[in-house]
Amino acid sequence: MVDDKTHDRILEVENLSVEFSTYGGDVKAVRGVSFGVNRGETLAIVGESGCGKSVTVQSIMGIIPMPPGRITGGSARLNGMELLGLSAKESNKFRGVQIGMIFQDPMTSLNPTMTIGDQIAETLRVHRNKSYKEASALAVELLEKTHIPEAEKRAKQYPFEFSGGMLQRAMIAQSLACNPSVLIADEPTTALDVTIQAQILELMSELQRTENMSIILITHDLAVVAKMADEVAVMYAGQIVESGAVDDIFYHSSHPYTLGLKKAMPRNTGERKQKLMPIIGSPPDLFSPPTGCGYFARCPYAMKICETRQPENFPIVQDDDHHAMCWLQHEDAPVTKELHQNHASIDHAG
Amino acid sequence: MLVKTEELRKYFKIGRGQRLHAVDGVSIEIEQNEILGLVGESGSGKSTFGKTLIGLHARTSGEAFYNGQRLPAKFSSEDHLHYSQELQMIFQDPYSSLNPRMTVLDIVGEGLQIQGKHTRTQIRELVAQWLTKVGLNSDHMSRYPHEFSGGQRQRIGIARAMIIEPRFVVCDEPISALDVSVQAQVINLLDDLKKSMGLTLLFIAHDLSMVRYVSDRMAVMYLGTVVETGPADDVFFEPQHPYTQLLIESNPEPDPKSERARSHVPIKGEITSPVNVQPGCRFADRCPKVMEHCHNTSPPVVSTSSSHTVACHLFA
C-alpha cells in the first residue's frame, strides 16, 4: 500500500470546464469537474443522459470537435503530463497509446470496410512501428487475450460478421494494442444483453488485474457501478455532485440526487416491493445554468440557500475522500431522515 | 382468462429457401387484469410474439384467443379496425414510433378519429384529458414530437394507446430508452392505469429487475420458445430452468456488497441463430447441465408447482 494516495494517482483532472457553441447560445456542458484515478483501480462516472459524463472523458482524450466545442478551463494530467491544449500531433502520441478508449456502439466505432485483424494491426503499425506481418500476428494474440474463439479465422473477418458482444471484445483488443495505463469505457455494455454484459465486464476485470490497468467506466447503470467500481463520481448537470468509495456512495449516500437515483430503481431484496420513487422534473437548461444548486428544482430537501448559492463540495467526515456538493452537508443544515450527513453522523456515532 | 396462445408460430422467409423461426410454438395464458412480464435476450422472439399476438404480423401456425374468441391468423383491415378498440401496443422507441409531421393532437386523437364515434371537439377534450393523465400538459396538443424529451414522447405513446380504452396492451420495451429517474415515472403510470382501467398487460423487457417489479407472472423466452413461466417472484428468486438461472446470475444488483459476494463464473457462448434450428432443446449448446438426449428431443413442459412450468429434460 502506498502511504500517500496522491502518489498512486495516474490521472488527475482539475476544474475541467467545457462549452459548446450552438445557434441557441453556449451550452455549459461540463462545469468545473475534478477527479482522480488511481493505478489499477476503476472509477465509475455515473449520471443520466446529458449530464456531461461523456463530454468529460472526450475532452480528456481530445476528441471533442473544436469548434463548436471549447475547453474553457481546467487541467488533466496523466502521470504529470498535461493533456489539455495539446496539438493534434502531440495528442496522437498519448491517445490510444497511454489511454485506450472503447465506446457504446462497437458497430459504428469500427471501420466496416476493413477486417478486424487489419484494424487492430493498423494501431500497432502506427503507434509501435511494427511491420505488417508482425502487427497481424500480434493482432491475433490480442484477440485471443479477449477470449475470441478461433482468433486467427476471426481476424480475417469484417465487423458485420461479428455479434455485438464479439465486436466489443474486438474493440477491447484494439484498445489494448499499446498496453495503455488507462482504459476509458463509455457505456461499454449498454447495447448488450445481460448475459453478454456479464461476460464483457468479467473480461474487463480480468484484464485490469493482468495488465494493472486503470479503468474509467462511464455508465448510467448503478448495478454496473456496484459490480465494477472502486471509486464513484456521480454527475448531474455538468458537475460531480457526489464522489467517494463505492460503498460510501451506496450505503452512505450524501447527495439527494444519488439517493433519488437509488430509490428510482427496483431492488431485489425478497421483502415486500417498495414503490419506485421517480425524480420529478427534468435537469436544468445548461444554456443558462442555475446560479445555485443544479438539482434545486427537483430536490425534495431544497432549502432557500440552494436556489441562490452554489453549494460547496463538503467532505463527509468519516472518510475525507467522500465528498458531496450539497448545502445539507453544512453543519448548520437541518438533519434529514434518509440522507447521510456529516454532522448528523457524528451525533449517531457519539 | 383474457388472452391465450396455443403453439403460436411465426416464421419469416429470408430467401434461399431458408426460414427464420422467430417464434416457435409459444403457449401462454394471461388472466384478466394481470401483468405478464416477458423476458429474454435480443433475438429471442419476444417482440415478434407480442406483435403476432395482436395481429401486427400474420401468424404461421398455432392459435391465439382473445376473450374466448379465436383471433384470425391474418388480420383484414376490418379486423384491425375491430380489434384495435380492445388491443393496443406501446412501442420501444419513442423517437421512431411517433410521426414527426403530426401534432400531438393528431397522434393521440387518431385512433378516436378512425373509430368515427366522436366529434372533433370531443376528441380535443379527450386528448386534453389524457395528456393530463399521463403527466403532460393539455397545452402540448399543438406541438410536434421533436419538441419533447424521450420520457415525454413515451407518455404520448402511452396516451395514444390508452385513449381507446383498450382491455389488453402489449408494452414492447416501453422503458429501455429512458433514464432511470424517468423509467420509474412511466412504470408507476402504467401501474396506476392498470389499476384504474382494469387493464391486462404483456410487458416485454430485458431488464429483469424491472420485469420482476412490474409483473404478476413472468415468462422467459429463448430462441422462439418459452422455457419457464411462473409467478414473478418465484421465477426470479427460485429459477428452475438452467437458462433462467443463467440470466438471473448475470443480472447485476445496485448493491456493491452483494456484487462482491457473487460467484464470478463467466457464462459461455451467445444466443444462436434462429435460422435452420436443430431438433432438441434450443439451449442445449450453452447449457451447463446438458445431457445426451437434449440435442435430439424437444424438452417437455413440466409443472414444478401449480403455477410454475419449466421446459427442460432435467425435470422430466
Q: What is the pTM of this model?
A: 0.87
A338 pLDDT above the threshold of 70: yes
Q: What is the CATH number of the domain that holds B23?
A: 3.40.50.300
Report yes or no on B254 lying in a domain.
no
8 Å CB contact between B297 and B280: yes
pLDDT grade, residue A339 (50/70/90)? confident
pLDDT in tens, B16-41: 888 899 999 999 999 999 999 999 88
The pLDDT value recorded for residue A183 is 93
In sequence order, the 6+-apart residues with CB closer than 8 A to the CB of A29 are A18, A19, A20, A52, A55, A238, A286
8 Å CB contact between A253 and A259: yes
Q: How far off is chain A from B44, nearest CA to CA, in Å? A: 11
A255 pLDDT above the threshold of 50: yes
In degrees, rounded to 5, the angle at the alpha carbon of residue A126 between the alpha carbons of residues A120 and A127 is 90
Residue predicted with more confidence, B57 or B180: B57
* Average of per-residue pLDDT across B166-170: 94
CB atoms within 10 A of CB A141: 12
Q: Rounded distance, CA A140 to CA A117, Å? A: 7
* Average of per-residue pLDDT across B211-235: 94
Long-range contacts: B23-26, Cβ < 8 Å, 24+?
Answer: B23/B48, B23/B49, B23/B52, B23/B224, B24/B223, B24/B224, B24/B225, B24/B274, B24/B277, B25/B62, B25/B224, B25/B225, B26/B62, B26/B221, B26/B224, B26/B225, B26/B226
Look at B19-23, B148-152, B299-303 and tell me which has the smallest mean pLDDT: B148-152
For chain A, say whether B251 makes contact (Cβ under 8 Å): yes
Look at A162-171, A211-220, B197-206 and tell me which has the smallest mean pLDDT: A162-171
Length in residues, chain B: 316
Q: Is the peptide bond prior to B174 cis by the omega test (within 30 degrees of 0)?
A: no
Look at A128-132, A133-137, A321-325, B49-53 and tell me which has the smallest mean pLDDT: A128-132
Which chain B positions have a beta carbon within 8 Å of A199's beta carbon?
266-267
Residue with cell string 422503458: B175
Report yes or no on B122 lying in a domain.
no
The pLDDT value recorded for residue A350 is 31
Report yes or no on B304 lying in a domain.
no
3 state DSSP class of B202: strand
Q: How far off is chain A from B254, nearest CA to CA, in Å? A: 4
Residue with cell string 494501431: A123
Q: Rounded distance, CA A176 to CA A171, Å? A: 9
| Facing B188 at nearest CB: one of A198, A202, A276 | A276
Tell me the ipTM for this assembly. 0.82
Report yes or no on B116 lying in a domain.
no
Look at A158-167, A253-262, A273-282, B288-297 and tell me which has the smallest mean pLDDT: A273-282
Distance of CA A243 to the CA centre of its chain: 12
A271 pLDDT above the threshold of 80: no
Report yes or no on B303 lying in a domain.
no
Q: Rounded distance, CA A8 to CA A93, Å? A: 23
When the pLDDT of each residue in chain A is averaged and rounded to a whole number, the result is 87
Range list of H helices, B3-45: none
Q: Rounded distance, CA B196 to CA A86, Å? A: 60
The percent of chain B in helix, strand and coil, each rounded to the nearest 5, is 35, 20, 40
Report yes or no on B64 lying in a domain.
yes
* Average of per-residue pLDDT across B265-288: 80
When the pLDDT of each residue in chain B is averaged and rounded to a whole number, the result is 90
From the number of C-beta atoms within 10 Å of its C-beta (0-12, 13-18, 19+), residue B85 rates as middle
In sequence order, the 6+-apart residues with CB closer than 8 A to the CB of A236 are A47, A48, A51, A257, A283, A294, A295
Residue with cell string 459490480: A227
For chain B, say whether A191 makes contact (Cβ under 8 Å): no
pLDDT in tens, A66-91: 888 899 999 999 988 898 888 888 88
Which chain A positions have a beta carbon within 8 Å of B259's beta carbon?
223, 226-227
A6 pLDDT above the threshold of 60: no
| Domain of B219, in residue numbers | 3-86+166-246
Count of structural domains, chain B: 1
Report yes or no on B171 lying in a domain.
yes
pLDDT in tens, B74-121: 999 999 989 999 999 998 888 889 999 999 999 999 999 998 889 999
Cβ separation B252–A198 shorter than 8 A: yes
| Facing A276 at nearest CB: one of B184, B251, B254 | B184
For chain A, say whether B249 makes contact (Cβ under 8 Å): yes
Cβ separation B267–A195 shorter than 8 A: yes
Report yes or no on B160 lying in a domain.
no
The DSSP code for B117 is: -
B15 pLDDT above the threshold of 50: yes
